[in-house]
Amino acid sequence: MKVTVITAVLNGQSSIGATLASVSSQDYAEIEHIVIDGESTDGTLDIVQAERTPNVRAYSAKDNGVYQAFNRGLQVATGDVIVFLNSGDVYTATSTVSAMIGVLAASGVDAVFGDVAVVDAGRSGRMVRRYSSRKFQPSRMSYGFMPAHPTLFMRRAVYDMVGSYDDGYRIAGDFEFCLRAFITHRISYRYVPDLVVSMPTGGLSNRGWRSKWDITVEMRRACRNNGVATSLPRLCLRLPLKLMEFT
């Protein structure tokens, strides 16, 4: 199966190189890497062009956020399996893609996913949190739980069925997409109990308590729009459990 890795980036001069190197070092042969740039004004595109290989394609245009960038990547993707790896995120091993595709092929499910290591963005690189997808069930999405999106290896046929990301969301568009995939369309899945992706602190969803509140409000809207009963208090119940993931 051919794999498409889509990387969204905006002014990622300090981070894009690590992501490009991580994807290019994978031991899985059939990978295309699509970089969707939101018209960066730093040296991001220079780095992409300097490290560009035949399996890397880059597109640059102004967008209204990460989910529009995701959709632009989907429009040009040619892989049988789609995965999103944003600028700064890296795979934890050179065999990550081959291992995840092996599980997907052997199990016959629609999607596989695992865990994310959230690491100190400073010099230490120490893991500060393990975002675990182990207890995910579609029924728990009304409490705000979802698979770790950067680890989600999903067959292209699912996107053809479920549709694209709703770019009306600023921070919870991946959650809204998963509501449609796992609840509305009831796709099949398999959890892999491994650290799949390493993600630095400072992303859209882990910028402190204000971002936690903003994503909670958007999660409630996503649930309502997809007929999933929930409330702000119910969605907030996930936060104490998330605190237990910190090391």
Write the DSSP string, 152-163.
-EEEHHHHHHH-
d(CA 100, CA 157): 17
Residues 138, 111: contact at Cβ < 8 Å?
A: no
Asked whether residue 124 carries a pLDDT value surpassing 90, the answer given is no
90-91 and 81-84 beta bridge pairing:
unpaired
Cα separation, 211 vs 209, in Å, equals 5
- Position 203 scores a pLDDT of 60
Distance CA 123, CA 144 (A): 32
Contact 151, 197 (CB under 8 A): yes
pLDDT(162) > 90: yes
143: which 2 tokens? 């409490």
Cα–Cα distance measured from residue 239 to residue 128, given in angstroms and rounded to the nearest whole number: 16
User: Residue ranges of the alpha helices (H) in 114-208?
Assistant: 156-162, 173-178
State mean pLDDT over 133-162.
Answer: 96
Q: Where are the alpha helices (DSSP H) in the chain?
A: 16-24, 44-50, 66-76, 96-107, 156-162, 173-178, 209-225, 232-236, 238-243
Q: Is the pTM for the entire model greater than 0.75?
A: yes
The dihedrals phi and psi of 226, each to the nearest 5 degrees, come to: -110, 15
Q: What does the pLDDT average to over 31-36?
A: 97
pLDDT at 201: 87
Residue range(s) defining the domain that contains residue 31? 3-243
Domain CATH code at residue 183? 3.90.550.10
Q: What is the pLDDT of residue 202?
A: 76
Q: What percent of the chain has a predicted confidence (pLDDT) above 70?
A: 94
pLDDT digits (tens, 9 = 90+) for 167-225: 999 999 999 999 999 999 999 999 999 999 999 987 655 555 678 899 999 999 999 99
Total number of domains in the chain: 1
In tens, the pLDDT along 50-60 reads 887 889 999 99
